[in-house]
Amino acid sequence: MVFKRMPLEDWFDKYQYEVDYDIGESGMKFFRVKDLGIDLDEVELRYGYHLGRPELRKKIAEMYDGCSMENVAVTTGASEANFAIIAHLVNRSDHMIVEHPTYPSLYEVPRSLEISLSLLRLKWVDRFKPNLDELRGIIKPNTKLITLTHPNNPTGSQITEKTLREAIGIAEEHDIHLMVDETYRDLTFDEPPPLAATLSKNAISLTSMSKVYGLPGIRIGWAVADKSVIEGIRAVREQMTICNSAFGEVIALEILKRRKQVLNDMRSKMMSNYEIVKEWMDQQSWLEWIEPEGGVVCAPRLRNGGSTRELCELLVRKYRTFVVPGYGLEMDEYFRLGYGGDREELVVGLEMLKKALEELSSSS
Ligand SMILES: Cc1ncc(COP(=O)(O)O)c(C=O)c1O
Cα(52) to ligand 1 centroid in Å equals 19
Q: Please check whether residues 275 and 252 belong to one and the same domain.
A: no
Cα(103) to ligand 1 centroid in Å equals 6
**Average pLDDT in the 170-197 region?**
97
pLDDT of residue 131 exceeding 90, the answer is: yes
pLDDT of residue 364 exceeding 80, the answer is: no
- Among 230, 205, 220, which residue's Cα sits nearest to residue 255? 220
Q: Is there a contact between 294 and 267 (Cβ–Cβ < 8 Å)? A: no
CATH number, domain at 345? 3.90.1150.10
Q: What pLDDT shows up at residue 363? A: 84
**Average pLDDT in the 329-336 region?**
98
For the ranges 5-19, 214-228, 271-285, the lowest mean pLDDT is seen at 5-19
Q: What pLDDT shows up at residue 291? A: 98
Percent of the chain beyond pLDDT 70? 100
Q: Please check whether residues 156 and 69 belong to one and the same domain.
A: yes
Q: What pLDDT shows up at residue 268? A: 97
Q: Please check whether residues 330 and 251 belong to one and the same domain.
A: no
**Average pLDDT in the 295-310 region?**
97
Domain extent, residue 192, equals: 36-257
Q: What pLDDT shows up at residue 156? A: 98
Q: What pLDDT shows up at residue 85? A: 98
pLDDT of residue 176 exceeding 90, the answer is: yes
Minimal-distance CA residue to ligand 1 atom 15: 103
pLDDT of residue 136 exceeding 80, the answer is: yes
Q: Which atom of ligand 1 is nearest to the CA of 152?
A: 1
Judge whether 2 lies within some domain: no
Q: Please check whether residues 93 and 218 belong to one and the same domain.
A: yes
Q: Please check whether residues 20 and 66 belong to one and the same domain.
A: no
Cα(155) to ligand 1 centroid in Å equals 14
Mean residue pLDDT across the chain: 97
| Tens of pLDDT, residues 204-241 | 999 999 999 999 999 999 999 999 999 999 999 999 99
Cβ of 153 less than 6 Å from ligand 1: yes
CATH number, domain at 195? 3.40.640.10
Q: What pLDDT shows up at residue 329? A: 97
Q: Please check whether residues 75 and 191 belong to one and the same domain.
A: yes
Domain boundary among 257, 283, 315: 257
Q: What pLDDT shows up at residue 68? A: 98
Judge whether 31 lies within some domain: no
Q: What pLDDT shows up at residue 267? A: 97
Q: Please check whether residues 106 and 227 belong to one and the same domain.
A: yes
- Count of structural domains, the chain: 2
Cβ of 244 less than 6 Å from ligand 1: no
**Average pLDDT in the 343-355 region?**
98
Q: What pLDDT shows up at residue 1? A: 86
Strand order in the sheet with 297-298: 297-298, 335-338, 324-325
Judge whether 1 lies within some domain: no
pLDDT of residue 161 exceeding 80, the answer is: yes
**Average pLDDT in the 253-271 region?**
97
Domain boundary among 205, 235, 257: 257
Judge whether 74 lies within some domain: yes
Cα(333) to ligand 1 centroid in Å equals 22
Q: Which atom of ligand 1 is nearest to the CA of 184?
A: 1
